[in-house]
Amino acid sequence: MKRNVLIIGAGGVAQVVAHKCAQYNDRLGDLNIASRTKAKCEAIIASVHEKNAMKVPGVFAAHAVNAMDTAEVAALIRETGCQIVINVGSSFVNMTVLEACIETGAAYMDTAIHEDPKKICETPPWYGNYEWQRRDRCKAAGVTAILGIGFDPGVVNAWARVAEEMLDKITSIDIVDINAGSHGKWFATNFDPEINFREFTGTVYSWQQGAWQENKMFEVGQVWNLPVVGDQKAYLTGHDEVHSLSARYKDADVRFWMGFGDHYINVFTVLKNLGLLSEKPVKTAEGLEVVPLKVVKAVLPDPASLAPNYTGKTCIGDVVRGLKDGKETEILIYNVADHKEAYEEVGSQGISYTAGVPPVTAAILIAEGVWDVGTMANVEEMDPKPFINLLNEMGLPSRIKDANGDRLLQF
Amino acid sequence: MKRNVLIIGAGGVAQVVAHKCAQYNDRLGDLNIASRTKAKCEAIIASVHEKNAMKVPGVFAAHAVNAMDTAEVAALIRETGCQIVINVGSSFVNMTVLEACIETGAAYMDTAIHEDPKKICETPPWYGNYEWQRRDRCKAAGVTAILGIGFDPGVVNAWARVAEEMLDKITSIDIVDINAGSHGKWFATNFDPEINFREFTGTVYSWQQGAWQENKMFEVGQVWNLPVVGDQKAYLTGHDEVHSLSARYKDADVRFWMGFGDHYINVFTVLKNLGLLSEKPVKTAEGLEVVPLKVVKAVLPDPASLAPNYTGKTCIGDVVRGLKDGKETEILIYNVADHKEAYEEVGSQGISYTAGVPPVTAAILIAEGVWDVGTMANVEEMDPKPFINLLNEMGLPSRIKDANGDRLLQF
């Protein structure tokens, strides 16, 4: 039984992961959290204790680590006796952390695709560039590595698998991500601005008619009507899950849609057209080399700072169309999260909450042997039922809306 | 007789100054140009020779200088035997260059107020913060120092003096600066972005009803109808000339209006609200200290690069209202410049052209003893007639429009 957990990262999602691990520490073991800045880890642990979040007495220790250094991460895994690593650090550290897990045998999870700081929007499928190249080594080492186990990617992949089991044939999967909340700032990104903007500056890849389709960001938009949040305009957007779901559902169209207001689009367009979202260094008149995107990140509000005043709700759903008994059928599987409730429970806003709960759910399933598959897997390859049932208990209920009505999804 | 000229700076305005000095080098002497980067000076001299701009054979030499270092500038003035310094470098170097002129006895000119890189929009009147504190020393040393002798400030100050001599009493001076040209880029500033944006990020000071009035940028706008460019929306803007004209015309309202399109205002508003126009350093996640405004400057097109494709015209005018023989009277004195014509003549666009011709005109007047006043002066303190007559010949004709029609202004 694997129980001891090492959390990598100390941002808004790590805060949620820490609180949720603490709330379920009777089903896990010692808890550890490590990032470049130990003080940030200590602050997170302090907030866990403030909320009396530890279900049973236990260890929760902070560490400093350079997660870009595999040997350092491996040493920390051994030193803390951790068998489960929840990597919610920057997307730049995924492969070095995964290597440490392969080396030590610990289970690995992340919530976003690996990125090379110097590259934006590599060729599809993105998982083929880094993660899947290590699949055979994970299998050989018996290492459980669950890729992209946040909300989207993550829960939305599990929902696609649920739909697969309900339908005879899937013809399209449209993942729609709407944040109808308000942070009250003139402008802010809901997670690391560097990662946020990098998502939108490249080609928008979608999988349609059996091939990769290319569009520009904000080129294709449509209004989606979703429960609670109502009519919302969303735009075809490149996103991790399209790059694994398209491999399993080759005959289906797989698209990701993200909601954006006109204000966000205007700010993004100005920054992009001026070259301020570039990951390539420029030189100032004084000769200083600097990456514009990192300066934009430096002037924007820290996403973690938004949480206390965030109000409103998010709705993320899979609209799955297909055939059932020869008839065209549409299923919506979705979750609604509330920013304020998330903040009151774990001190983070709703977007961090939806991303941070699923890997803890998965950690429990790994600890209990249910999901300890001993190889690398994307979420749609796993049995979705125990995952969705446990998510329902842990604060992220899945609902399903189809011809039979709108109800809790449970097995 | 003072004849040898040292040009400080190697940007778009310096390019115009160099070409115009060459065209009139029979009335000046040896020409010298110096900036931090000697190669930029050499490129300007090469363009002068390409156009065969030297009226008579003569010296035009390039030099490297750190204009923030008074001793270095003074040594260069002595070494080149220059008696006239045309400072069209960054606004940050004005006082070090002026000090070198006081030390060596050379005449000094600049085209914009001195600025401290660390401060934005100091208390009015701006000339009182640096320039006028050296007035007594200029007088004692017999040094001619003509402040703000570009177009605006500069020619517009001379026009105010013309109006003063035509009216019995001035009640208001509205300086209106419209660029109705097009550079064809998605966004660009017409001169150094750092100086351009610094103009608009602080309080807008105007002189009204005998006191400094404070507004925000883009708070007060109105449509002005001007010759050639027609109806144009312009906004109350802080500008150098308001800070000297208000001292001479205490009973008049003195306002400066600059034309802006909605696109410029949108880009400016996004950058300003995000904090990207700040002159105060921020620290990136990687610990690099960087001034956001300098990064914005680095990503924007080099203003000099706009010239080849710039089309359309500028119109800058003084709308002066007052009393003549007991009757309320309005006079418009204005100039229209053409971007393409400017580029064909001197290789710079119209805005650089209008800023660069006046100091050369003044240099000739100093060389010929007409304006060699041996003290510090703002332009409205000088006799405007010879200046306006010579500008008419040198490519910047002044026109006047009043009850008697629209005609060339000459004396």
Name residues 184-223 of chain A within 8 A of B (Cβ): 186-187, 194
Q: Name the minimum distance, in Å, from the CA of A102 to any CA of chain B.
A: 28
Instruction: Tell me the residue type at A304.
Output: A
Cα dihedral sign, B341-B379-B371-B133: negative
Closest CA to B278 of A270, A286, A295, A276: A295
pLDDT tens figures, B271-294:
999 999 998 999 999 999 999 999
> CB contact, 8 Å: B273 with chain A?
yes
Q: How far apart are alpha carbons A398 and A378 in whole angstroms?
A: 19
Tell me the residue range of the domain where B13 lies. Answer: 5-151+347-394
Q: Among partner residues B267, B282, B294, which is closest to A299 by beta-carbon distance?
A: B282
Identify whether residues A91 and A170 lie together within a single domain. no
Q: What's chain B's length in residues? A: 411
Q: Does the CB of B284 have a partner CB in chain A at under 8 Å?
A: yes
| CA–CA min distance A295, chain B (Å) | 6
Q: Is A278 on the interface with B (CB under 8 A)?
A: yes
Question: What's the pLDDT at A121?
Answer: 67
**3-class SS of residue A103:** helix
Residues 6+ apart with CB under 8 A from B261: none
From chain A, the residues in CB contact with B292 under 8 A are 295, 298-299
Q: Using CB atoms, pick whichever of B266, B273, B298 lies closest to residue A187.
A: B273
Residue of A nearest to B265 (CA): A270
Q: Is B93 on the interface with A (CB under 8 A)?
A: no
Cβ of B278 within 8 Å of Cβ of A290? The answer is: no
Residues B224 and B363 in one domain: no
* pLDDT at residue A190, rounded to an integer: 82
We report the CATH number of the domain holding residue A286 as: 3.30.360.10
- Contacts of residue A32, defined as CB under 8 A and 6 or more positions apart, other chains included, come to A4, A5, A6, A7, A59, A60, A61, A62, A63, A76, A80, A82
Q: Give me the residues of chain A with pLDDT under 70, please.
A: 1-2, 121
What's the pLDDT at A195? 79
- Say if the Cβ atoms of B266 and A270 lie within 8 Å: yes
> Are A273 and B298 within 8 A, CB to CB?
no
Interface probe for A, chosen from B276, B283, B296 (most Cβ of A below 10 Å), is: B276
- Nearest by CB to B284, from A186, A275, A297: name it: A297
- CA proximity to B145, closest of B102, B176, B189: B102
Q: Quote the CA–CA distance of B217 and B42 in Å, as a whole number.
A: 39
Same domain, A172 and A319: yes
B298 touches chain A (CB under 8 A): yes
Number of domains in chain B: 2
Judge contact between A139 and A374, C-beta under 8 A. yes
- Find out whether A205 and A243 touch, Cβ atoms under 8 Å: yes
Quote the minimal CA–CA distance from B175 to chain A in Å. Answer: 30
Chain pair A-B, CB pairs under 8 angstroms: 86
Q: Are residues B176 and B320 in the same domain?
A: yes
A292 vs B: CB within 8 A: yes
Q: How far is A270 from chain B (nearest CA, A)?
A: 6
Q: Which of B194, B274, B298 is the closest to A299 by Cβ?
A: B274
Q: How far is CA B199 from CA A87, A388, B178, in A?
A: 46, 57, 16
Binary contact (B297, A286; C-beta < 8 A)? no
Of A273, A286, A298, the CB nearest to B187: A273
Which of A56, A297, A230 minimizes the C-alpha distance to B286? A297
- Assess whether pLDDT exceeds 80 at residue B198: no
Same domain assignment for residues A273 and A284? yes
Minimum CA–CA partner of A298 in chain B:
B284
Q: How far is A264 from chain B (nearest CA, A)?
A: 10
Q: Is A276 on the interface with B (CB under 8 A)?
A: yes
Which of B37, B68, B185, B295 should we substitute to test contact with A (largest number of A Cβ atoms within 10 Å)?
A: B295
| Domain CATH code at residue A43 | 3.40.50.720
Query: CB distance A299–B271 less than 8 Å?
Result: no
Would you call B284 and A299 a contact, using CB atoms and an 8 Å cutoff? no
Per-residue pLDDT reduced to its tens digit, B17-46: 999 999 999 999 999 999 999 999 999 999
Residues from chain A contacting residue B291 (CB–CB below 8 Å): 284
Query: Cis before residue B125, ω within 30 degrees of 0?
Result: yes
Q: Using the 8-state DSSP alphabet, how is residue A93 labeled?
A: G
Contact A66, A96 (CB under 8 A): no
- In B, minimum Cα distance to A275 occurs at B299
Give residue B341's pLDDT. Answer: 97
Cis peptide before B153 (omega within 30 of 0): yes
Does residue B246 contact residue B333 with C-beta atoms inside 8 Å?
no
Contact residues for B194 (Cβ-Cβ < 8 A; gap 6+): A285, B293, B294, B297
Give the residue among A82, A92, A134, A139 at the shortest CA–CA distance from A115: A92
Q: In sequence order, what are the beta bridge partners of A327?
A: A324
Could you tell me the maximum CA-CA distance found in chain A, to the nearest angstrom?
A: 69
**Residue B177 and residue B304 in one domain:** yes
- Alpha carbon of B219: minimum distance to chain A alpha carbons (Å): 18
Q: What integer pLDDT is reported at residue B356 of this predicted model?
A: 98
Do the Cβ atoms of B273 and A186 come within 8 Å?
Answer: yes
Using DSSP, state whether A28 is helix, strand or coil. Answer: coil
3-class SS letters over chain B:
CCCCEEEECCCHHHHHHHHHHHHCCCCCCCEEEEECCHHHHHHHHHHHHHCCCCCCCCCEEEEECCCCCHHHHHHHHHHHCCCEEEECCCHHHHHHHHHHHHHHCCEEEECCCCCCCCCCCCCCCHHHCCCHHHHHHHHHHCCCEEECCECCCEHHHHHHHHHHHHCCEEEEEEEEEEECCECCCCCCCCCCHHHHHHHHHCCEEEEECCEEEEECCCCCEEEEEECCCEEEEEEECCCCCHHHHHHHCCCCEEEEEEECCHHHHHHHHHHHHHCCCCCCCEECCCCCEECHHHHHHHHCCCHHHHHHHCECEEEEEEEEEEEECCEEEEEEEEEEEEHHHHHHHHCCCHHHHHHHHHHHHHHHHHHCCCCCCCCEEEHHHCCHHHHHHHHHHHCCCCEEEECCEEEECCC
**Residues A224 and A373 grouped into a single domain:** no
Q: Which residues of A touch B189 (CB under 8 A)?
A: none
Across the interface, whether the CB atoms of B292 and A270 are under 8 A apart is answered no
Same domain (yes/no): A79, A11: yes
Looking at chain A, how many residues does it have? 411
Inspect the interface and report whether the beta carbons of B276 and A284 lie closer than 8 Å: no
- At B157-188, the pLDDT tens digits run 999 999 999 999 999 999 999 999 999 999 99
The neighbour count for residue A64, using CB atoms within 10 Å, is 14
Are both B264 and B250 inside the same structural domain? yes
Q: Are strands B230-236 and B107-110 parallel, antiparallel or unpaired?
A: unpaired
Residues of B in contact with A296 (CB under 8 A): 274, 276
Residue A274 to residue B187, Cβ atoms within 8 A:
yes
**B125 and B261 both lie in a single domain:** no
The per-residue pLDDT for A365 is 98
ipTM field: 0.75
| Contact with chain A for residue B37, Cβ under 8 A | no
Q: Which tens digit of pLDDT belongs to each residue from B205-259?
A: 999 999 999 999 999 999 999 999 999 999 999 999 999 999 999 999 999 999 9
Whether residue A260 is found in the same domain as residue A313: yes
Q: Test A276 with B299 for CB contact under 8 angstroms.
A: yes
Kindly list the distances between the CA atom of residue A81 and the CA atoms of A75, A76, A106, B386, in Å, as whole numbers in the listed order.
10, 8, 9, 88
What is the pLDDT of chain B when averaged over all its residues? 95
Model confidence at B1: pLDDT above 80: no
CB B120 within 8 A of CB B202: yes
Listed in sequence order, the residues at least 6 apart from B175 whose beta carbon sits closer than 8 Å to its beta carbon are B152, B156, B239, B241, B242, B255, B256, B257, B316, B317, B318, B319
Distance CA A181, CA A184 (A): 9
Q: CB–CB of B295 and A295 under 8 A?
A: yes
Q: How far is B244 from chain A (nearest CA, A)?
A: 31
Contact A270 B275 (CB under 8 A): no
CB A182 within 8 A of CB A314: no
Q: Domain check: are A269 and A168 in the same one? A: yes
Is the Cβ pair B285, A297 closer than 8 Å? yes
Is the pLDDT at B121 greater than 70, yes or no?
no
